[in-house]
Amino acid sequence: MDGLLLFIAGLIASSAVAMVVGISFALILPGIERKVQARIQQRVGPPILTPGWWSVLKFMYKSKVEPIAQMPAFYKSLVLIGIVIVSFLLLFVTPYWWSILGWGSILGIAGLLKLEEVLYVLMGSQSQSIMSSSMPVPDLAKGSKFIGIRREFNEQHSAERSLKMMAIGSIPLYLGLVVPFIAAGSGMLNAVVSLQNPDYIVSNWMAIPIPSKPLLFTIPGAMGAIVYFLGFVMLMNEKPFSILKAKIDVIEGGVLEYASSLRAAYYLMRNLLMFSLSSIFNTLFLGIPFDPFMPSMMLINMLLSLIPVVSMATLAAFSPILTFRQIYPAAMGISAFGVLAMILASSL
Amino acid sequence: MIQEKQTEKKVIEKELSFGPVHPALVEPYRMRFFVNDEIVEDCEININMAYRGIEKLFEGLPVEKALLIAERVCGICSNVHAWNSVRVIEGGLGIEVPQRANYIRVLVHEFQRITSHLFFFGHAFEVLGHETFAMRSFLLRENFMDLLQYVGGNRVMPSVPIIGGIRPRADLNESLKKVITERVDAFESKYKDYLNRAVEDPLVMSRLSGIGYLTKEDALKFYATGPTGRSSGWNYDLRREMKEYKPFDYDVIVLNEGDTKARVVSRALEVLESLKIIRQIVKGLPEGPVVNRSWVAKKMDYTVSYVETYRGELMHSYGLDQGGFIRNYKIRTPTITNLAAMEQACIGDHVTEAILTIASCDPCLTCCTRTEVIANGKSRIMSDAEIIQRFGWRK
Amino acid sequence: MTLKSIARKNAVHVMLFYSGGCNGCDIEVVNAMLSPRYDLEQYKVMLTWNPREADVLLVPGVVTWQMLEPLKKIYAMIPDPKAVVAVGACAVNGNVYKNLVGDIGVNEEIFAPVETVIPVDVKIPGCPPRPEDIIMGAVKGLPKLMGAP
């Protein structure tokens, strides 16, 4: 009984530490992202804390407004649900959660990611911003060829796009996610980490266990990492795969109507998702988990999670928005590459 | 018979409308796309949002004052509106313009052509989603904004032409000529690097090519002038017939592809031709006076003047009454026909690409908004205020 | 200085509203935002296209009849505290469209200055103002934002 109580206490403590560190670090990432892009574009760019921390704080201090949505209460709850999902995504890869009900496994991670994607569909179908068809300008003509056609909000169009992205765009991420588990021959995170970093399982909290054979430096692992990274960009809806919130037609997609504190919550959700996915990358491909009770591992994980973020910012700065004309073949090619990585990984 | 009609009718799933406040637009207009899934089946563009009643403002003003309004018709092509406005009275009253003034007018015109085209690249790349190239073209544009400021005194409204010549302050001296030569040389190498980067980028080219086809027949049917028509294979440039351009040697860029890529590339190549003209002007600038002030405003018949601007053909026309006041000012800008052509060209594209196609004709709407009512065989212009008072706001 | 005002000072989101001017000011604003030479982002000012996200509304130019309702509506959509910056001579006093009229006397097509439509906090004169002036104007709206409850 004492063992169980101790375990629960440890679970709560580690989750609290992970959340506090995770959120404070996640809100620095957008600043770094923006700064990298700005330097590529030959300008100074905003200070690192501005797009993350200060923006979130500022939105929290703005007055509350009711969003224009079909079901405002539901719409408002969506972003909070998103934060819960992303927080669990971060927590599931911390070692205390690995042993609970098999959540620290491929199923837990993939399931949560899928839920996260569904949120964009729901947000898009709810939001009814003034920026598209409800703009009060006289635009209906008596002599028009098209009278009585359903006028759709941009966000609804964005929801349709996110359905398509769910169907094809997210496959690479899941394929990349599966590669380390296949290499380990198990569905549990524990096995993946102990394959790459055997010292980590046995060392105490002060130690600095260096992964002895990280998967990233094997051929299938490297291929899987590339596929995972492209899937990460697709899931983050960043350029070049940002069709569902392409600025030039649907402006921001379903999140258009979040104002003041809800917008702060959306910023938090997005950045925490970015950090969680980079952290998962380090856990899976390098064997360095985000362990709140082992400072060395936590710090190395946080530092290395800058790599996917900086690469994503660089990719975004050098690429236009792709339309479905390019996304379908691109996603198919990347998926094929991922399948090849899976086949190679099974022979490791 | 009835069944046949039903089968011909297109089934449209939904309508998407963008604007007038939207990141893809630099001016207020509204795009309504009728789409099935992602494919644009038809398109309507509403362009009346920037109606300021400019043509009525001219009525009864002395010609010198009219120049101020004419320059503020549009903020991108301010110089050409001012130039064309003075060309009307110069043609109508036979005012002699010194050759040096003509050279400097062409110089400022070509400066603004370059800034306008670079702004177009910035806008097109912004619509493409490529922020880096957009910013780079804005950075290149600053070179010529500076030169405009050195010559005219203002970045956007240089206000160089006046009736009978140019303002004496805009006259070129030796040091300014040297600055222009240096800037143009530095700009050319940077600009060529930029072009090579853009053309070699596979992602950008895959977005640009294969969309927004405008055939030569359609271009002629809609009178799509300027680079929009020339990139569809219509070999027509009014500069060939303008006497101001007679001394200069340059090529007219004509491309036959007619897609969005051709419309971007033709503008990119036109910038290089403009640089050629600028070099020739600086080299062969004739000596002499820059303004001929020996004219009086008197009764003038309704006179028309055409100029090839950056987007196509621009028409200004007015008459003067006995006191020398302006009567019946008319402006016809190229965008109104170009946009109509784009409405046709964007059919069949994806929604994101259709916006790019419309942006690729370089729309400039601030000057081309008016409503014409044709009743009982007579036509008259109706203002927005009248329309709204008569028909009310949209519910 | 409270955390509230520090946060407001350090992140300003600006929205641009094309109200129907001649385009010159619009392009100078875009220039100030996008050109690496001026780069508004280094002063912690970010461009947005969503009224729900914005703090400062830039209105360049006169307001035409058709843009009247959208302007009022978008102004109402911005959550408090908010500031409005009138950019350019047209937005400040109507420029040629209001003051240089011929026979018609009063130009009924436009609403100028912008003050007659929505409350304005900062005015930037110039036809068009230079990008430096626009940066200064966007930053001058800050004290109002910072001091708001």
pLDDT tens digits for A170-217? 889 899 999 999 998 888 888 888 888 888 888 887 888 888 888 899
User: Quick check: B377 pLDDT over 60?
Assistant: no
Contact A247 B129 (CB under 8 A): yes
User: Quick check: B211 pLDDT over 50?
Assistant: yes
Strand partners, B42: B34
Give the HSE-up count for residue A283: Cα atoms under 13 Å, Cβ half-sphere.
30
Place of tokens 């050195």: B150
Average predicted confidence (pLDDT) for chain B: 86
Can you say how many angstroms the Cα of residue B364 is from the centroid of all Cα atoms in its chain? 6
Place of tokens 């200069």: B248
What is the C-alpha separation between B361 and A233, in angstroms, rounded? 32
| Mean pLDDT, range A289-293, rounded to an integer | 88
Do the beta carbons of residue A135 and residue A49 sit within 8 Å?
Answer: no
User: Quick check: B229 pLDDT over 50?
Assistant: yes
* All chains having 3 or more CB pairs closer than 8 angstroms to chain A: B, C
User: Quick check: A256 pLDDT over 60?
Assistant: yes
CATH of the structural domain B53-387, one choice from 3.40.50.620, 1.10.645.10, 2.70.98.90, 3.30.70.260: 1.10.645.10
Query: For C6-147, which CATH class?
Result: alpha beta
Tokens at A200, concatenated: 């980590």
Tokens at B155, concatenated: 């970045």
Contact A65 C52 (CB under 8 A): yes
Q: Which of A131, A237, A249, A319 to probe the B interface (max B CBs under 10 A)?
A: A249
pLDDT of residue A59: 93
Listed in sequence order, the residues at least 6 apart from A84 whose beta carbon sits closer than 8 Å to its beta carbon are: none
Average predicted confidence (pLDDT) for chain A: 90
Name the pLDDT band for B383 (thresholds 50, 70, 90): low
Which SS3 state, helix, strand or coil, does residue B306 take?
strand
Tokens at B246, concatenated: 């007679």
pLDDT digits (tens, 9 = 90+) for A217-250: 999 999 999 999 999 999 988 888 988 888 888 8
Contact B157 C19 (CB under 8 A): no
One DSSP character per residue, B100-134 reads HHHHHHHHHHHHHHHHHHHHHHHHHHHHHT-HHHH
| Mean pLDDT, range A40-56, rounded to an integer | 92
Do the beta carbons of residue B191 and residue B140 sit within 8 Å?
Answer: yes
Can you say how many angstroms the Cα of residue B337 is from the centroid of all Cα atoms in its chain? 11
Place of tokens 């952290």: A279
What is the C-alpha separation between B89 and A330, in angstroms, rounded? 59
Tokens at A78, concatenated: 């969506």
Contact B27 C101 (CB under 8 A): no
What is the C-alpha separation between A171 and A149, in angstroms, rounded? 35
Place of tokens 């991670």: A109
Q: What is the pTM of this model?
A: 0.92
Cis ω for the linkage preceding C81 (within 30 of 0) = yes
Q: Is B21 exposed, middle or buried (0-12, 13-18, 19+ CB in 10 A)?
A: buried
* All chains having 3 or more CB pairs closer than 8 angstroms to chain C: A, B
Tokens at B190, concatenated: 């940077």
Among C20-24, C85-89, C109-113, the range with the most confident prediction by mean pLDDT is: C85-89
Domain spans, chain B? 53-387
Cis ω for the linkage preceding A308 (within 30 of 0) = no
Residue C67: closest C-alpha in chain B: B49
What is the C-alpha separation between B293 and A148, in angstroms, rounded? 61
What is the C-alpha separation between C31 and B215, in angstroms, rounded? 34
Contacts B–C by Cβ distance under 8 A: 151
- Please tell me whether the interface predicted TM-score (ipTM) of this complex is above 0.90: yes
The 3-class secondary structure across B307-357, one letter per residue, is: EECCCCEEEEEEEECCCCEEEEEEEECCHHHHHHHHHHHCCCCEHHHHHHH
pLDDT of residue B254: 93
Listed in sequence order, the residues at least 6 apart from A65 whose beta carbon sits closer than 8 Å to its beta carbon are: A259, A260, C52, C77, C79
By Cβ distance, the residue of B23, B49, B59 closest to C102 is B59
pLDDT of residue B368: 56
By Cβ distance, the residue of C41, C67, C80 closest to A46 is C41
What is the C-alpha separation between C20 and C65, in angstroms, rounded? 9
Give the HSE-up count for residue B250: Cα atoms under 13 Å, Cβ half-sphere.
24
pLDDT of residue A77: 94
| Mean pLDDT, range B150-158, rounded to an integer | 89
Establish if A317 touches chain B: CB-CB under 8 angstroms: yes
CB-CB neighbors (< 8 A) of B24 in chain A: 247-249
What is the C-alpha separation between B353 and B359, in angstroms, rounded? 10
DSSP alpha helix (H) spans, C35-107: 65-77, 88-93, 95-99
Q: At B218, which amino acid appears?
A: D
Identify the sign of the CA torsion B130, B133, B139, B145.
Answer: negative
The three-point CA angle A66-A269-A15 to 5° equals 125
Name the pLDDT band for B394 (thresholds 50, 70, 90): very low
Q: Find the helix or strand (DSSP H, E) in which C124 lies.
A: strand C122-124
Place of tokens 């060829």: A145
Q: Find the helix or strand (DSSP H, E) in which B146 lies.
A: helix B131-152
User: What length is written for chain A?
Assistant: 348
Strands A151-152 and B14-18 come out as: parallel
Name the pLDDT band for C102 (thresholds 50, 70, 90): confident
By Cβ distance, the residue of A152, A248, A318 closest to B23 is A248
pLDDT of residue B1: 44
CB-CB neighbors (< 8 A) of B46 in chain A: 137, 139
Phi/psi for B175 (5° steps) reads: -65, -40
Q: Find the helix or strand (DSSP H, E) in which B32 lies.
A: strand B30-36
Strand partners, B371: B382
Do the beta carbons of residue B97 and residue B286 sit within 8 Å?
Answer: no
Do the beta carbons of residue A81 and residue A116 sit within 8 Å?
Answer: no
Phi/psi for B54 (5° steps) reads: -65, -40
Distances in Å between the alpha carbon of C59 and those of A57, B21, C62, C124, C145? 26, 12, 8, 10, 17
